[in-house]
Structure 1
């Protein structure tokens, strides 16, 4: 029997957050489709991943790499249109796409879906399909499907080129849950000893610290705060050996709540945990590269 989520729960994720508000670009978005496959193709024609640009033979200059430091989706969209002001449905050549990470693909898809009132959220975790026996840090998207009465996991970064290069057989528009562990699931499995923390992370950043950072990022995204993957704050900062028992207990609670977010916890429970300890929240107000305030949260 399928358990339906209350409308207040899915409704929370249909609302824009401080980093996903695209209302000022309504005219550019008015004619975009609401089909997930079409939106993913559009996003793939606007962005180029920093680790995959070599496949497109488009070197990334310093100016293009600086786009990675932009947090809001609106700033990303402004930069995309500055590179090429044609309608967004027109795929750009690689050299005129905005440099991006998986966070940016996910952020833009979530922003476009929320703009249309579709419940969706970014999830931070680890994918198993980039390297054998590795859990690579990766951000993806969940959207609520009224037809299937479930959260569907989508990888908006996975275009045809990447899919072929990685020999991915599953549908990126409905990623099997076995191919992605959220930060909370990774924390729980490594804490229990069932998986080796050294298998988790990205580049040189591996182990329990990488898992801890992804866990806290996932809590933030469930509260509609989609920071940069390398943003660090609060409980992300102490080395593992400096964590107190109470800190580890709190992180266990974060893992429990965020893993439960795959099922049916209330948004109030996620928000209450986020508010319960300042070390779980990014320091606010968040500032842009030029020192201007991007957003704040109510006290």
Structure 2
């Protein structure tokens, strides 16, 4: 599952600490030259507090993992450059090349950290501010990447719409409507697995990108979601609201665009709206739509 804003903010804060930590390290490095305590032990890299911060960070996707690996490599090289510089000073053999090597290593390290920060900031900006779920724009951007992470399973689109949401807004006001959207988003986060991701598609519609070994497995998950949402009331001040959703489910076929898959899921969901709401409808590869039951 993609990070939420709290997770992203925590990672960004740690990345800032990592940069600040190496400014302090650089000052300590040159201070050791001034006071003639020219030592940089072989295990300084392993003892570095910044290495501990890096090891505490988690990658949630291939882009994050790649950024983190680049930072680890650059961090190791930075310590190696510092060690070489101090050794050359100790032997009275320091040249401009030693200092340039340290400068270049520091630049590479800073650039690597900034690259991950930029990725996380872009991802944060793509989160829906009301529900804290990733929005449609982010789904468009990482659709192909998400398919590549299916790990041998099939990928399914679950498109859901809150039944009679307009009536909630008309009866109780938009503040209550907003709380319903937030509560549903949280319920989706609670109910789906870490390997699946929920998105706010727009308005009162949500999408779940789901992985399952078979159509039956995907349909069972969709039915479970539908039931869980209907059975648990949403509390808001003195109100206790029960909502239902209608789901359209379809499997992603090889080479299909997101728009093609969404169109099928939307057609299945619309059939569910026409035939009674509060149900799951599955469209297969032939275009046939059937209601999902136990």
Greater share of helix:
2
Instruction: State the TM-score, normalized to the length of structure 2.
Output: 0.27
Larger radius of gyration, structure 1 or 2?
2
